[in-house]
Amino acid sequence: MNKVQLKSYNNDWYKSGNPLKKSLWYFINSLFFNTSLPFPFSFKKTLLTAFGANIGQSVVIKPNVNIKYPWLLNIGSNVWIGENVWIDNLAKVTLGDNVVLSQGVYLLTGSHNYKKETFNLIIGKIVLEDGVWIGAKAIVCPDVTCYSHSVLAVGSTATKDLEPYTIYQGNPATEIRKRVIT
């Protein structure tokens, strides 16, 4: 039976950006985003767009938010991002309009191929369409699309696409009921 050989791990194929730009971003991220200090959003938006993010209007980013690579981030308008959210975007992450990421949400775009001896890096984009709500401490995995107005309940894990206007719960998340907005 074969075993994992981490000494053979190689992700040289993955190019996340200019090393100087990444180093500068890690410094900016820890000073102004992944901190308890409540810097104004207009300032945060300026920093994010300077590093290549596309940001809509009236976006709220609370303190202690960790964003891996802003140049792989698109945020629509009227979006709320709660405390302790981690956008671990090795691949593109797109948040539509009126999306809510509650406290402690983890958007995970990378994993590893456990079937390979070399434990290869796997990446996949995440798309949260308009009106999606990701509940506190929930996780969205790579290559998942949460379609319009779907809901991922508190502490749940989305490992597959969420259908529109549907509420999901559990790990892995399963459909609970339809979302009716009045």
Give pLDDT tens digits for 102-117. 999 999 999 999 999 9
Is the Cβ–Cβ distance between 68 and 53 less than 8 Å? Answer: no
23-44 per-position pLDDT tens digit: 999 999 999 999 999 999 999 9
pLDDT at 91: 98
Six token digits for residue 97:
């309009």
Q: Please state whether the peptide bond connecting residue 142 to the residue before it is cis, i.e. omega within 30 degrees of 0.
A: no
Q: Is 78 left (phi over 0), alpha (psi -120 to 50) or beta?
A: left
Q: Which residues of the chain have pLDDT under 50?
A: none
What mean pLDDT is reported for the chain?
Answer: 97
pLDDT at 75: 98
pLDDT at 157: 98
| Structural domains in the chain, sorted by start | 18-178 (2.160.10.10)
Beta-carbon count within 10 A of 81 CB: 23
State the DSSP H helix or E strand holding residue 73, giving kind and residue range, or none if neither.
Answer: strand 73-75
pLDDT at 120: 95
